[in-house]
Amino acid sequence: MSIFDNPISSRFDENDALIYFEDVKVPWERVFVFRDADMCRAQFHDTPGHSYQNYQSQIRLSVKIRFLAGLAHRLTEAIGTTNIPSVREQLGYLAAQTSMVNAMLAGMEAEGSMRGEWYVPNKHFMYSAQVLTQDLYPRVVNTLRDLSGGALIMLPSSIHDFADPHIKKIIDVTQRAAKMGPEEKVKFLKAAWDAIGSEFGSRHTQYEMFYAGARFVTSGHSYRTFDWQGATGMIDGLMDTYQLADELGRKVN
What confidence tens digit (pLDDT) does each residue in 69-91 have?
Answer: 999 999 999 999 999 999 999 99
Q: List CB contacts of 67: < 8 A, sequence separation 6 or more.
A: 195
At residue 15 the predicted structure's pLDDT band, cuts being 50, 70 and 90, is: confident
b or e along 34-66 (b: 16 or more beta carbons within 10 Å of the residue's beta carbon)?
Answer: eeeeeeeeeeeeeebebbeebbebbeebbebbe
Rounded CA-CA distance 140/138 in Å is 5
Q: Which residue has the higher pLDDT, 230 or 246?
A: 230
**Cβ burial, residue 204 (10 Å; 0-12/13-18/19+):** buried
At residue 19 the predicted structure's pLDDT band, cuts being 50, 70 and 90, is: confident
pLDDT surpasses 90 at 209: yes
pLDDT in tens, 162-198: 999 999 999 999 898 888 899 999 999 999 999 999 9
> Quick one: which of 209, 54, 187, 87 has its CA closest to 141?
209
For residue 144, give Cα distances in angstroms to 3, 97, 187: 22, 13, 17
CB 101 within 8 Å of CB 133:
yes
CB 192 within 8 Å of CB 68:
no
CB 113 within 8 Å of CB 122:
yes
The share of the chain scoring above pLDDT 90, in percent, equals: 76
The share of the chain scoring above pLDDT 70, in percent, equals: 98
For residue 206, give Cα distances in angstroms to 47, 203, 214: 28, 5, 11
The ranges assigned to domains in the chain are: 9-21+54-227
* pLDDT at res. 186: 94
* pLDDT at res. 17: 84
pLDDT in tens, 218-243: 999 999 999 999 999 999 999 999 99
* pLDDT at res. 183: 92
The correct CATH number of 9-21+54-227 out of 1.20.140.10, 3.30.1330.10, 3.30.1320.10, 3.90.1170.50 is 1.20.140.10
Cα torsion 173, 176, 178, 180 to 10°: value is -140
For residue 80, give Cα distances in angstroms to 12, 147, 181: 29, 11, 13
At residue 251 the predicted structure's pLDDT band, cuts being 50, 70 and 90, is: low
At residue 253 the predicted structure's pLDDT band, cuts being 50, 70 and 90, is: low
Rounded CA-CA distance 250/135 in Å is 52
